[in-house]
Amino acid sequence: MKCGCQNPTTDLKLEADFLTDPIWCTICGYNLDPEDLSISPELLEIIEDWVSRYGEWIDIDTDTLVDRGIELEDEHNKEGIKIYEKLKIELGFKYELIYSPSVSARSYTNK
């Protein structure tokens, strides 16, 4: 995949965030489009749905956790692990893939 590196990257990270695609180059940090990967339309839809729900544990208007915020984030991370496993299978050995779970809810407990 083309990113900010000199050569196309094969080092990818699955990490959800607000208003971005959840695939990143682990070397340069470039945000990549999952549609550029050779994955099934079904998995692409699952990924898009998962990332669209990122941060539902945070009340953006008040910048606080919603009720059960940590549990919601944990559920999101568990779903992310399942997506990571499916993505690894579909990508095969062509890419090195890591998963970075969200830790944002826990940072709110320290405010």
Q: CA torsion, points 75, 77, 78, 79, in degrees to nearest 10? A: 90
Higher pLDDT, 106 or 22: 22
Instruction: Band the pLDDT of 109: cuts 50, 70, 90.
Output: low
- In this structure, is the dihedral angle defined by the CA atoms of residues 37, 40, 41 and 45, taken in order, positive or negative? negative
What are the structure tokens assigned to 10, written together? 């094969």
- Answer whether residue 76 shows pLDDT above 80: yes
User: At a CB cut-off of 8 Å and minimum separation 6, what does 31 contact?
Assistant: 20, 21, 23, 24
DSSP characters over 21-77: -SEEETTT--EE-GGGS---HHHHHHHHHHHHTTTTTEETTTTEEPTTHHHHHHHHH
pLDDT digits (tens, 9 = 90+) for 57-67: 999 999 999 99
- Answer whether residue 105 shows pLDDT above 60: yes
User: Taking a C-beta distance cutoff of 8 angstroms, is the pair 17, 57 a contact?
Assistant: no
pTM over 0.75: yes
Instruction: Band the pLDDT of 84: cuts 50, 70, 90.
Output: very high
* Cβ neighbours of 30 (radius 10 Å): 15
The pLDDT of residue 1: 87
The pLDDT of residue 106: 83
* Mean pLDDT within 57-81: 95
* Mean pLDDT within 73-85: 98
